Amino acid sequence: MSGGYRVDPDELTRFADRLADTGDELRAVASALAEPVGDLGPQGVPEAVSALLAQWADAVRGWDLP
């Protein structure tokens, strides 16, 4: 019989820290998505980009980030 799965505690801590950093970055992106896009070119482009970013922001906000 196997002794089970063995984990290096230091490696697990580093992995958890990377996940926490990723969560911080995602929260920053989610808040930036709500900001106005500014002048991006011809008429209709800023509105289209704003609509797309709003959809992404809604999706990211739907994630349950700690």
| Residue pLDDT, tens place only, 3-60 | 788 889 999 999 999 988 988 888 787 777 777 777 777 888 888 888 888 888 777 7
Residue 25 lies in a domain: yes
Residue type, 38: G
CA angle 27, 32, 34 (to 5 degrees): 110
Structural domain boundaries enclosing 57 = 9-62
Q: Count of alpha carbons within 13 Å of 12, Cβ hemisphere only? A: 5
Helix, strand, coil percentages (3-state) for the chain, rounded to 5, are 65, 0, 35
Would residue 17 count as lying in a domain? yes
Q: Is residue 2 part of a domain?
A: no
Residue 57: name the closest of 34, 24, 27 by CA.
34
Would residue 3 count as lying in a domain? Answer: no
Q: What would the two tokens of residue 52 be?
A: 């797309």
- How many domains is the chain built from? 1
